[in-house]
Amino acid sequence: MSPFKKAAVKGGSSKGKEPVIDVDDFSPPPKGTRSSSKRFDPDKFRSYAAYQSYENFFLHAKPLLERALDQPSLHDTDIPKWFAHKDWNYLLSDPDDAYEELVKEFYANAIVEGDELKCWVRKKSFSVSPAYLAEILHINRPIFRHSPVYDDLCPDEELLKESLGQDLEFSPNGKSISVSSLSPKLRVLTIVMFHNLYPLSSTGYMNLGRVLFLHDLISDVEIDICAHIFHVLRKTVLRHESRICVPFCSLISRILKLKGIYPMADESPMSKPSTINMRTFNASIGHSRKRAKPETSASHNDSQFSTLSLDEKLDRIVSSVHELNTKMSGLTASLHHQNTRWDMKFTSLQTQLDQIQRKLEEDD
């Protein structure tokens, strides 16, 4: 563990009610409240409990896809330098085709046993562990007695400001930061993090564990990325009380392909998101200027937009659509949860009325 990490940890956990849409946010409805999209299929689920897990927690979850990182196009930034001494090429290069149904079946059928996931996908059994991830990703793991779990770390605010900038904006509860308060190159690095290394479906805020991970990336601190990814997979399998996204879709699809598990003829791969490149960086710079100098008129905004290159315009549009999609996903999950609660109350009331009616009939 780095000296920074030892000095930064104050104790306790960074978990809490934060303005971050994560794989742990938003409680789904209890089992049995959603209408099934298909019947239990023993060829796809190892047990009826796994099928229920799929229906209740993963069926409507949002897939979070990895994005390729075009490091040569970013040679004028510090981003390639931050990955120069890390053998993470398989995590950052062109991702494998990802198949949504297979990925969700992987999570629904997986069972946690210590430092292993006991997996079962379409009648094939196999195990996933940090060591196995290192093998298929061709990564040399650092030697740690205990690999740190970033989710459980709570670094000191002042130390984070020293490394990431004095303009760092913390949330009112002090448990997350605003991504927009980071420099453009760090914001691009968070995009790489959120898709390929430390999945997060919302790019507005990130908790302090992720901020410390960001610090370690730019400080060339050794990171056991395989243990870290395994922790995220394990957490996704275990945290059934809440789920709105499924991470590492391409990595899981790669594992399944290596195990000889292939999609059916009628299953198509998900569309790959755009590559992270210099256009992404330029869009981040444009966002910084907009944040530093708020516009006062629509006409000024229009004239400024018209002077941008086509690539910059496209990146801004994509960024706006992504933000809108994130907000809509959160709203949809919230509305769905509220609707389920009312359905449960109505069902309970109907049951009580039926009981009263039966009692009245018995009395007669």
Give the per-residue pLDDT at 326.
55
Give the per-residue pLDDT at 197.
94
pLDDT in tens, 139-167: 999 988 888 889 888 887 888 888 888 88
DSSP per-residue letters across 149-195: -GGG----HHHHHHHH-TT--B-TTSSEEEGGGS-HHHHHHHHHIII
Give the per-residue pLDDT at 104.
96
360 is a domain residue: no
User: Taking the CB of residue 311, how many other CB atoms lie within 10 A of it?
Assistant: 14
Residue carrying structure tokens 């039926």: 354
pLDDT mean over 321-332: 61
**More confident position, 31 or 242:** 242
135 is a domain residue: yes
pLDDT mean over 296-310: 48
pLDDT mean over 312-338: 60
Give the per-residue pLDDT at 112.
96
Answer whether residue 110 shows pLDDT above 80.
Answer: yes
Average pLDDT, the chain: 79
Give the per-residue pLDDT at 263.
95
What pTM, to 2 d.p., does this model score? 0.70
pLDDT in tens, 167-213: 889 888 888 899 989 998 999 999 999 999 998 877 788 889 999 99
Give the per-residue pLDDT at 155.
82
CA gap 16, 14 in Å, rounded: 6
Answer whether residue 245 shows pLDDT above 50.
Answer: yes
141 is a domain residue: yes
Confidence of residue 239 (pLDDT cuts 50, 70, 90): confident
319 is a domain residue: no
Confidence of residue 111 (pLDDT cuts 50, 70, 90): very high
Give the per-residue pLDDT at 303.
47
326 is a domain residue: no
Give the per-residue pLDDT at 27.
40
Answer whether residue 12 shows pLDDT above 90.
Answer: no
356 is a domain residue: no
> How many structural domains are present in the chain?
1
Provide φ and ψ at 69, rounded to 5°.
Answer: -110, 115
pLDDT in tens, 70-85: 999 999 888 999 999 9
SS3 230: helix
The percentage of the chain sitting over the pLDDT mark of 70, rounded to a whole number, equals 68
**Range in 100-104, 173-177, 305-309 with the lowest mean pLDDT:** 305-309
pLDDT in tens, 14-26: 444 434 434 444 3
8 is a domain residue: no
The percentage of the chain sitting over the pLDDT mark of 90, rounded to a whole number, equals 44
What domain range includes position 65? 48-290
Q: CA end-to-end span of the chain, whole Å?
A: 75
318: left (phi over 0), alpha (psi -120 to 50) or beta: alpha
42 is a domain residue: no
